Homo-oligomer: A and B are copies of this chain.
Amino acid sequence: MRLTVTYNLAGVGRAAAAKATDIAFEQTLELAPDLVPSALANRVAGRVDSVTTLGRGRSAAVISFDPAIVCGDLPQLLNLLFGNISLKAGVLVADVRWPDELLRALGGPALGMAGVRDLTGVRGRPLLCTALKPLGLSAAELAERAHLFALAGIDLIKDDHSLVDQRTAPFEERVERCHDAVARANRVTGGNALYFPNVTGGPSALTDRAVFARRTGCRGVIVNALPAGLGALRPLGATGLAVMSHPSLAGAFFHRGHGIAPAVLLGDLFRVAGSDAVIYPNVGGRFTFSRATCVAINARLRRPLGPVAPAFPVPAGGIDASRVPHWIERYGADTIFLLGGSLYRQSDLARAAGRLVDAVRRHSDG
């Protein structure tokens, strides 16, 4: 099977067909068709399988590639799908169909949804996640919040994605204090809340931070996947840590007629790159995704995908305790709900978190 990509293009008819051929050559041989011997072109160029009209002056071109061109390498996958043609107008990666051979080479999440459930011990209900913030608090203050969230029964307590190694809460001190605060709370509750530090950094900082987190006893981390490079996720997962990916920068790709569709980038690419869970901006929050986009991301993260394990969708924002039943019904139990602002908006954080935990458990039991 070939790696089969649907590109939505500006143009119809012959113009669309010409654009499709251009993509097929630009992304592989990077020479015009008349400069390449036809035997070589047949072997290496993308193959335009179909071009159909979408209406409103746009077309869908289905182009398939030899998966061996990817070399099982994430950066090269991005380059093949959208590298040079990102610089042309009106090209959107709308869908990808994946050969098993390529999926096996890429690997996907090391733990997946089942592995994250094993870590937390939570079955049959959605997980609750919150963020330690804001930047500017000391490690001790962040740890205090972590303690309180864990006492209230939040399952996953993650660093805000902008906490790095700032002097106000240096990485190692923060990880030690927050991990300890959650462990202390677990001894009180008999629960199993987990603290996920943000390990984003350049290649060596990221590795050092992951090693430190693991040694401190953390079972998972968050990472700003695009700033760090999607190729960083799989090595991170290989350390045994659960990988929760944050969509920082992803909005650059999300234009109606240009880029990579959110469900493909966050639902497929973040997953095959090695995310066990993927955060995305939920409809109704302060970002711009539609309900259909959110549902499509959920479906992509969870769908059967050859040898690649399913990953947890992590809708963030637009959720509070009173709306929990609504969202559980919409998104189902295999979801991690990430609540930040709506908790912090309440004066008593502990009570707010407690109400939320109750709402989830009540609704999931019922």
Contact = CB atoms under 8 A, between A and B. Distances in A.
A292 interface: no
A235 B82 contact: no
Given A87-B288, A160-B30, A79 B231 contact: no
A204 B252 contact: no
A276 B134 CA distance: 37
A250 to B, nearest CB: 6
A78 B260 CA distance: 19
A87 B247 contact: yes
A162 B206 CA distance: 26
Given A29-B134, A71-B164, A76-B200, A87 B287 contact: yes
Contacts of A168: 44
Contact of A287 (B88, B203, B251, B258): B88
Contacts of A332: none
Interface string A57-94: 00000000000110101111011101111111100000
A120 interface: no
B235 A232 contact: no
A158 B9 CA distance: 31
A86 B248 contact: yes
Contact of A82 (B69, B80, B201, B249): B249
A43 interface: yes
A191 interface: no
Given A88-B288, A288-B87, A73 B134 contact: no
A93 to B, nearest CB: 10
Interface in A99-154: 131, 133-137
A285 B236 CA distance: 40
Interface in A231-284: 231-232, 234-235, 247-255, 258-260, 281
B40 A134 contact: yes
Given A44-B135, A87-B288, A250-B86, A74 B202 contact: yes
A252 B260 CA distance: 8
Nearest to A228: B75
B35 A79 contact: no
Given A30-B340, A255-B255, 13 more contacts: A29-B134, A75-B224, A75-B228, A76-B224, A78-B226, A79-B227, A83-B227, A87-B250, A201-B231, A203-B203, A206-B231, A227-B230, A229-B232
User: 6 closest A-B pairs (Cβ-Cβ)?
Assistant: A229-B229, A86-B251, A202-B231, A83-B248, A75-B227, A44-B136
Interface of A: 26-32, 35-36, 40, 43-44, 68-69, 71, 73-76, 78-80, 82-89, 131, 133-137, 160-162, 164-168, 200-207, 224, 226-232, 234-235, 247-255, 258-260, 281, 286-288, 340-341, 344-345
21 contacts: A28-B162, A30-B160, A31-B340, A36-B134, A40-B136, A43-B136, A68-B167, A76-B164, A76-B200, A78-B249, A86-B249, A86-B250, A86-B252, A87-B250, A88-B287, A88-B288, A201-B231, A202-B231, A227-B230, A229-B230, A251-B258
